[in-house]
Amino acid sequence: MGDLWQSLPVPVQDGIVTAALLVPGLLVGLVLRRGYAPGPLVGAMLWRFRGANAVFVLLMAASVAVGVGLTAQERAIRRGTAEAAARFDLVIGAPGSEITLMLAAVYLQAADMPLLTGAQYARIAADPDVALAAPLAFGDSHDGHPVVGSTADFVAHLSGPLQAGRMFRTAAEAVVGADVPLSPGDSFHPAHGHGPPAEADAHGEAEYAVVGRMARTHSPWDRAIIVPVEGVWQVHGLASGHAPGAGDRIGPPFDAAYFPGTPAILVRADAVWANYALKSRYTTADMMSIFPGTVLSQLHGLLADVRAAMSVLAVATQAMVAIGVLAGLVLLMRLFARSMALLRAIGAPVRFVLAVVWSYAAALIALGAVLGLILGLGAAVALSAVLSARTDLRIAAGIGWTEVQMVAAFLSLALILALVPAWLSARRPILPDLRQ
């Protein structure tokens, strides 16, 4: 049986689990309604007190939406951060914090990091397993957009074909990310540092001309400005990475003797196994190699307690909703106490009364659960749009099997709990209710 289950496609497994969660609640309904047709009476009950019913459904839907939105949003954030790190196969920096290196190289978070030397870069670039060794030089910005020095090969690796314009050819040219409000033909002066404290006049008359725009990467690099690494070095009064007499050439190979240093190097190999070999080879006393995806997974692991807390919050919310449903249904049934007493007085079987009350409760519960699923999706989508705009990550929340199964479990539990108000209604004294 275990082998048969594992052989099924994942969507089929999820569908079976969802159906199994619904079965207990649906079985209750089948047993109660067998041989009866309470539909017309239930419809009249729903319409007569439609205002109270609508309030009950909306309150339940809002509570369900909280749990759905929390789980959907958390999953979307994890997926968006992982997608942003996908093109950063291997990053090498000086020994220190792996998380700091990842945040700086992948997510462009400002950080003070020691530099790798020209000899270290030359050793990496000369390795036969290395297909790309791109220096990443941080430190400058323009109007809040980070200015990063690198190579044309790095831009091609990150963006693929440019969205507009061409690649930079001199140290004074730049290629901008998809969300940078500059276009080919514009020019700008770099500021030293990031954010409001950036020193706008620290680089004197330094100026870059924008010649191209990258395709969208759905990462913080969409807000970055990439210039030749030689431009960053020269703006700071350092050597250009090439021996005197090399003219205005940019890009590798670099001369180790004139290489001012770089805080990080993006490395890529043509074969997956070679990336692991390179990580081992360049994890030394003077260098640190990381797989950003692995570090991100570890970071997600460190945040597992947060996810667990969110899950507990979602479960607690559903439990409170279930209790609220039970209490609300008991109060609502007081509106129909006289009608139920009249049914019993004219000889209606107890099971028919149970079927009517349970069907009425089931209709409200089902409407609230479905509406809550829709509201949860809407809230998660709206919040994702805000987070995407603020972080430049592609955070796209959607309803998955996790949310569907959570709502299915809640729906089944609530349908079972609906037996309580149904039973209380069927056991109420007849005469006092008829006199109301």
- Three-state DSSP class for 383? helix
Q: Tell me what pLDDT residue 176 has.
A: 94
Q: Tell me what pLDDT residue 347 has.
A: 56
The answer to whether position 2 is within a domain reads: no
Q: How far apart are the first and last CA of the chain?
A: 59
- Give the whole-angstrom CA distance, residue 110 versus residue 276: 27
> Do 168 and 53 sit in the same domain of this protein?
no
Q: What average pLDDT score do residues 267-282 get?
A: 90
pLDDT of 200 strictly over 60:
no
Q: Which domain holds residue 427?
A: 7-83+303-434
Q: Tell me what pLDDT residue 432 has.
A: 53
Cis peptide before 114 (omega within 30 of 0): no
The answer to whether position 273 is within a domain reads: yes
Q: Which two tokens stand for residue 387?
A: 């987070």
Last residue of a domain, one of 290, 323, 358: 290
> Do 368 and 330 sit in the same domain of this protein?
yes
Block residue for tokens 């397993």: 129
Confidence of residue 293 (pLDDT cuts 50, 70, 90): confident
The answer to whether position 1 is within a domain reads: no
Q: Tell me what pLDDT residue 338 has.
A: 61
> Do 125 and 50 sit in the same domain of this protein?
no
Q: Which of 376, 395, 398 is nearest to 77 (CA)?
A: 395
- Give the whole-angstrom CA distance, residue 376 versus residue 318: 13
> Do 283 and 335 sit in the same domain of this protein?
no
> Do 97 and 78 sit in the same domain of this protein?
no
pLDDT of 198 strictly over 50:
no
Q: Which two tokens stand for residue 164?
A: 């507009």
- Give the whole-angstrom CA distance, residue 260 versus residue 239: 6
> Do 253 and 352 sit in the same domain of this protein?
no
The answer to whether position 296 is within a domain reads: no
Q: Tell me what pLDDT residue 124 has.
A: 93
The answer to whether position 32 is within a domain reads: yes
Half-sphere exposure of 37 (CA within 13 A, CB side): 1
- Three-state DSSP class for 90? strand
Chain centre distance of CA 27 = 37
> Do 273 and 329 sit in the same domain of this protein?
no
What's the pTM? 0.74
> Do 312 and 232 sit in the same domain of this protein?
no
> Do 279 and 308 sit in the same domain of this protein?
no
Detail the DSSP E strand segments found in 342-381.
none
pLDDT of 167 strictly over 50:
yes
Domain count, the chain: 2
- Give the whole-angstrom CA distance, residue 50 versus residue 45: 8
